[in-house]
Amino acid sequence: LETMRDVMLGTSGVNAAEARLKATTCVKNLSNADANDAALLHCPGLVDALGTVARTTLSSPTTTTNACLALMNLSISKVNKHRVFRTPGVMDALIYVISQEGNNEAKVKACSALSNLAIGYDNKIPMFEYPGFVDAILRVIRDDVGGEARTKACSILWSFAAEMKNQVPVVQRGDILPILVRVAEEDTTTEARFKCVAALTLLAESLENALPLLRSGALVPLMNILHEAGPDPTQWKGQTASWCVGFLMNLSQSDDAVPLLREAGVVELLAPLLTLNHYQSLKAAMAVTFVCRYDEDDATYDLLRKTETVIPKIISLLHNTLAGRGGNGYKYGVFTLRSSVGCIASLASGPDFMKERIATGPVFESL
């Protein structure tokens, strides 16, 4: 491995370029097997050398691609992610590759490596803050319409949004939200839309983001996706519509957002889901409960009656999320504890029949 590293870094000699290619290919091939990770990562300077090769071999596209492939493979395992990320030169090299034109395969592999790294819990904040990285990712999303690199880049934004400490800074940047909304509106053929809808849903977990999300125009495309998906979730293709329901559930917990959601027709859109024996009914019931929490008219009473069958699931969600275990509640998806506690509070302030359904042992124990 040390010999391969030295050959990869060698720049003199008649056959230096060919030797570099073969050494890089050798390391790439070794990286295909997880069992080799430890040896590759513990070879002094080998990962650094892959970064150097990726950044300095644009005249040899295959060499660049293989270096990015090796970094992609080494960044798959959970235990490797932070080590690869903090290796000097690796981030700069990958950012350089995704910023260049002409070698799309290397760009895709570099985006894949960066996407793998962004999944690592210890990497989400420092990667978001890494100089020039977000700008490079947004350029890929803007330029690579319909391409695989765009989908990988959108995955990175999703990973950033999954870290709660990133959620407000992501929105405050000002240039990420318009991109997420644009992809949600225009991309109907790749997974990029799904990634961006998921990112928007996670950003909506932070109540401070509610009004900026609404002002960004995110509501219309996500409601359109739900409308096109139809009222029967068993017929939905993929997870995009499911994330849209989650987006509305998260957004509805903001007092400032409620009037705008009411006016946009969110309650009417979600009403068909309330009576179904399906996990989407849980999120829909919670969203409707939040949106209607200040209403006292007959129509609201009838809507709340429709949510009665879902209440035991909401209670299980509260109980099991708090206990950190699965069960009838937690298996329905990942919810912030605030979502279930807030929903219980809204239901408890509702009509008498609702108070009776909420006044149970598990609820008191959890509270």
The arithmetic mean of pLDDT across residues 308-324, rounded, is 77
Average pLDDT, the chain: 91
**Residue 100 corresponds to which tokens in the numbers above?**
């260049």
Rg (CA), the chain: 24
Rounded to an integer, what distance in angstroms lies between the CA atom of residue 129 and that of residue 94? Answer: 15
pLDDT number for residue 236: 92
pTM: 0.91
* Confidence category of residue 13, pLDDT binned at 50, 70, 90: confident
Handedness of CA 318, 322, 327, 332 (dihedral sign): positive
pLDDT for 329 beyond 50: no
* Confidence category of residue 332, pLDDT binned at 50, 70, 90: very low
The arithmetic mean of pLDDT across residues 21-37, rounded, is 97
pLDDT number for residue 367: 84
The count of C-alpha atoms lying within 13 angstroms of the C-alpha of 260, restricted to the half-sphere facing its C-beta, is 18
* Confidence category of residue 295, pLDDT binned at 50, 70, 90: confident
Average the pLDDT over each of 45-54, 119-128, 297-306, 352-361 and give the range with the smallest value.
Answer: 297-306
pLDDT for 277 beyond 90: no
DSSP 181-198: HHHHHH--SSTHHHHHHH
Enter the DSSP assignment of 13: S
Enter the DSSP assignment of 94: H
* Confidence category of residue 216, pLDDT binned at 50, 70, 90: very high
* Confidence category of residue 326, pLDDT binned at 50, 70, 90: low
